Amino acid sequence: MIVASELSKAFRTTNGQMNQAVDAISFTVSAGEVYGLLGPNGAGKTTTLRMVMGLLSPDSGFATVDGARTDSQSTNSNQSEAVLSKLGMISTNDGVYPWLSVREMLSYFADLYGVPQALAKTRLSELAQLLDIEKVLNQRCSTLSTGQKQRVTFARGLMHDPPVMLLDEPTRGLDVVGSRTVFQFIDLLRQRGKAILLSTHRLDEAERVCDRFGLLHQGKIRYEGTLQGLQIATGREHLVDMFIDLIDQRGAA
């Protein structure tokens, strides 16, 4: 479903130097698979996700979803519309509209994706049940707790039922129970056959939920494969240890 091919992106820092945030990253994610993009802060996870999403245009390389490129430069508007409809993105930075009710906000996004109103209605109640936000549907978003907000954000990303989900740190700021709910939900999405690209720092949960991993450091994928493959490649049993090795490498460099 998702193919990232040699994605690169550099940013100009405030003192005018170029910082290679992502350096020729390639990976694929197929339907019904959860791919974990792991790495320390500043490794380039969010930038990668944004390039796959088409929000950032890569300096070189490209990403495709279902065979169609996501960068808007190479596609005409109709094509990019079709691609965008297949993608759902949930980010830790996502906010809610404080003055709208949950229902209004979700309906609004369904509308933006062109979901027919009747379908949007059934999907909304379905998602509300699934994510346990039925009780707050008519509340203003400003009154929600952090966990509720996160679940509303999940519902927002799923209103158009995209086959591909990009999840950027979906558990940051959530407590153990909250995180657990999120990962259970990711599991459910996988069962429904969605291709999921996940970036997270909850390594323990990631170990359980992800099918394959890419260990990102300083803009490059250092290791890639299943947990088993990684264990063989790094000689470490747990992701946490692999992680620390990576950071130590950085310290050594």
Contact residues: other proteins, CB under 8 A: 11-12, 21, 47, 50, 53-56, 73, 77, 80-82, 84-85, 87, 89, 91, 93-100, 104, 107-109, 111-114, 140, 156-157
- CB closer to other proteins, 38 vs 105: 105
In whole angstroms, how close is the CB of 238 to other proteins at the nearest point?
32
- Dihedral of CA atoms 48, 110, 128, 166 in degrees, nearest 10, equals -10
> What is the enclosing helix (H) or strand (E) of 189?
helix 176-191
- CB closer to other proteins, 131 vs 239: 131
- What the block records as the tokens of 174 is 């959530």
- CB closer to other proteins, 104 vs 224: 104
- CB closer to other proteins, 113 vs 223: 113
Question: How many helices (H) and strands (E) in the chain?
Answer: 9, 10
In whole angstroms, how close is the CB of 1 to other proteins at the nearest point?
17
What is the rounded distance in angstroms from the CA atom of residue 159 to the CA atom of residue 156?
A: 5
In whole angstroms, how close is the CB of 207 to other proteins at the nearest point?
28
Asked whether the beta carbons of 159 and 89 are under 8 A apart, the reply is no
What is the rounded distance in angstroms from the CA atom of residue 213 to the CA atom of residue 68?
A: 24
- What the block records as the tokens of 80 is 């990019």
What is the rounded distance in angstroms from the CA atom of residue 25 to the CA atom of residue 43?
A: 12
In whole angstroms, how close is the CB of 245 to other proteins at the nearest point?
28
- CB closer to other proteins, 87 vs 227: 87
What is the rounded distance in angstroms from the CA atom of residue 176 to the CA atom of residue 125?
A: 26
In whole angstroms, how close is the CB of 68 to other proteins at the nearest point?
12
In whole angstroms, how close is the CB of 211 to other proteins at the nearest point?
24
- What the block records as the tokens of 216 is 């990102």
- CB closer to other proteins, 37 vs 105: 105
